[in-house]
Structure 1
Amino acid sequence: MIKAILFDYDDTLVQTRRTRHQTIYKLSDELFKTRITEKEIDEAWGLPAEEFLLKLFGRFSSDLHYLWEVYLEFSKKDLNIPHPQAFDFINKYQNSFKFGIVTSSSGKVVLRELDELQINKSLFFQIQTSDQTNVHKPNPKVFEPIFGLLKNEKITKDEIIYIGDSPVDYESANKFGFHFLGIAHDNRHVDYFQSGEIPFVKSFLELESYLMNKEGFI
């Protein structure tokens, strides 16, 4: 039986890729007078927060404090957008599962965005960001802090599922010993999930059906 559901954040719960592409284009154009390409963004996507900033903007400045300041300022102009039914699902089942977030994004961004979206952060027993670990996906040790909390609640790895949108989400969760479910809001990683026979859904409506119908999960 599944007792805890952990989520990736970017592109799993919210449409970060779509939103932040616009932020990055505006920042690079207005501040650095250049156009960062989609390929450059893709190469940086998924890196821990500070590595992400340096990968994109390090050639303009190596001052992380400055890069954080301008990135956060520009990102305030582009509010992130939840995936349909994402937080409705969590609200609906808040008394059935323990919900958590494990993300490589910075707490500066994630916590602010949840506030902007008026999401009750107490729906999650833990929101683990890049600020709380020295390792990051695909290193499976990224799950040790949050699993330590669940272990204290007598919840085992076999009672936990991690839901994410990318190959690194699967690789880290699988190696750590969690169940995994992909969520493919678009087609970028469908081939990866299919070729590896990795279970996945395409929406939170499908997620609800999957959990309700999967033998041994409920």
Structure 2
Amino acid sequence: MIKLITLDFDGTTANTMPTLEQIAVRLMTNHYSLEKAEAVEKYRMTTGLPFEQQIELLFPEEEQNQTVIAQFEKEKIERIFDLPLFPDAKETINYLQNHNFLVAISSSTFQATIEEYCRLKGLEVDQILGYAKGFEKGKDHFDFLMKKFNLTPEEIIYVGDSLKDCERAQGSNILFIAKIGMFSKEQFDSISESKLAIYSLSELKDLVWTLND
């Protein structure tokens, strides 16, 4: 039985990905001699990871990496608080909590940033987990949540909008639900074991009952 719905943040709960992609692609084209289309593809295929890990994976040991990472994080923090939640995010989370589901956010964005964003937007969840070195989205976060709320993997679902989200959930035996946006249903289906997908968070209000039926 599902007891905890865990949500990714960027691109799933908050409509931030177009802006973050714009920042990242500009920095990648400026610093690594990439064409825009190639930069977009590289960024998208590594989304779900902390940005510093994306850069180190894509451009190992390049001398400009730390400059790019620092500039991205600077611009992100300058802009993210002005970006909106998805229109149905707050109502869906309230519905789930009112029906005795736990709701957590698990993200590769720094935790303090998510906490401040949620405070400003009036969004309340049962747990916020963000990125810190040695503690990141995936096994670290799921282990924390299972211990805190005394849950098994079978009692948790993870909703995310990236292929890396899918890989990390499945790597911890957590049921994954894709949020279609950056990636298509077909792209998720190529790696998703569950083949479950939604186009908006409000669809969770019916899906959780189907999963618990």
Interval containing the TM-score (normalised by the shorter chain): 0.7 to 0.9
Secondary structure of the 2:177 match is: strand
Matching of residues 116-155 of structure 1 within 5 Å: 116=120, 118-120=121-123, 123-131=124-132, 133-134=134-135, 136-137=137-138, 140-151=139-150, 155=151
Deviation, structure 1 residue 72: 4.1
Superposition RMSD on alpha carbons, in Å?
3.3
Deviation, structure 1 residue 107: 2.0
Q: Identity over aligned residues, as a percent?
A: 23
TM-score by length of 2: 0.74
Contact 2:95 2:205 in 1 (8 A): no
Where structure 1 has 5 or more consecutive residues not aligned to the other structure, the ranges are none
- Corresponding residue of 1:82: 85
- Corresponding residue of 1:207: 204
Secondary structure of the 1:177 match is: coil
Matching of residues 1-218 of structure 1 within 5 Å: 1-24=1-24, 37-52=39-54, 59=62, 61-63=64-66, 67-68=69-70, 70-75=71-76, 76-77=78-79, 79-95=82-98, 96-116=100-120, 118-120=121-123, 123-131=124-132, 133-134=134-135, 136-137=137-138, 140-151=139-150, 155-185=151-181, 188-195=183-190, 196=193, 198-212=195-209, 214=210, 216=212
Secondary structure of the 1:15 match is: coil
Amino acid at match of 2:187: Y
Deviation, structure 1 residue 67: 4.5
Contact 1:166 1:189 in 2 (8 A): no
Deviation, structure 1 residue 142: 4.4
Distance 2:161 2:45 in 1: 16
Contact 2:177 2:194 in 1 (8 A): no
Amino acid at match of 1:93: L
Contact 1:14 1:83 in 2 (8 A): yes
Deviation, structure 1 residue 74: 2.2
- Number of residues paired by the alignment? 204
TM-score by length of 1: 0.73
Contact 2:111 2:131 in 1 (8 A): yes
Deviation, structure 1 residue 190: 0.8
Secondary structure of the 1:19 match is: helix
Deviation, structure 1 residue 90: 0.6
